[in-house]
Homo-oligomer: A and B are copies of this chain.
Amino acid sequence: MSNETVAADPPAPSTGRARNPRTHQAILDATVQLLGEVGYQDLSIERVASRAGVGKATIYRWWNSKSALVIEAMERGLPVELPEHTGDPRTDLRAAIQSAVQTYAVGQVGSTVPALAAEVSRDATGAEQLRQFLRPRRDAAREVLHQAAAVGTLPPDVDIETVIDLFIGAIFYRSLVRKLPVDAVMVEQLVELILDGRLPRTIP
């Protein structure tokens, strides 16, 4: 269901020296480190190579762009944390939404996504890689909503993908575009919107 790798590995070579796994891990590690230290914009292939003790050409051999490298590095180095499943729709949905807040409004991943989105805007392959990267982040939420629909907490024909876009989009947009904090109140507003159809209210 999830992709194995995001990188566009060149056609499997039938002969020749095998790919050195240590080298590749070093590159991915260096990428994650630099992402945390200087951010996506100031991360250069040259610095990754130097940090990893690797030739630039080795990086270009296996990844054809900075975005492809960063996506794979984040996949392996910053895995999605899956909250436990209780079975109670409200509890589980709240956990899923809080997980999205963690991802987009707190962690390293979120602040990198706008740059990736911008970078792949003229690159169909990159766009697909980005989609595949985001997919597992949505899986937990999807499962929770499926469960809720199954037990009747949500209507059976609810459009789950759009519901997910609703709360991830709100968190993403408020945090990364408008640069405003996303607090517990907003999480609760989103939970109530989805489970109760109650629009967000201001606190009196």
Contact = CB atoms under 8 A, between A and B. Distances in A.
A115 B122 CA distance: 12
Interface string A140-180: 00000000000000110111001101101111111011110
Contacts of A52: none
A49 interface: no
A111 interface: yes
Contacts of A189: 159, 162
B166 A186 contact: no
A189 B201 CA distance: 20
A173 B168 CA distance: 8
A54 interface: no
Interface in A98-142: 111-115, 117-122, 127, 130-131, 134
Interface in A177-204: 177-179, 186, 189, 193-194, 196-202, 204
A41 interface: yes
Contacts of A194: 199
Contacts of A204: 157
A199 B155 contact: yes
Nearest to A55: B16
Contacts of A179: 120, 127, 130-131
A39 interface: yes
A154 B199 contact: yes
A200 B118 contact: no
Contacts of A171: 169
16 contacts: A39-B121, A40-B118, A41-B118, A111-B118, A114-B115, A114-B117, A155-B199, A157-B204, A159-B189, A159-B200, A165-B178, A169-B171, A169-B174, A170-B170, A172-B177, A193-B193
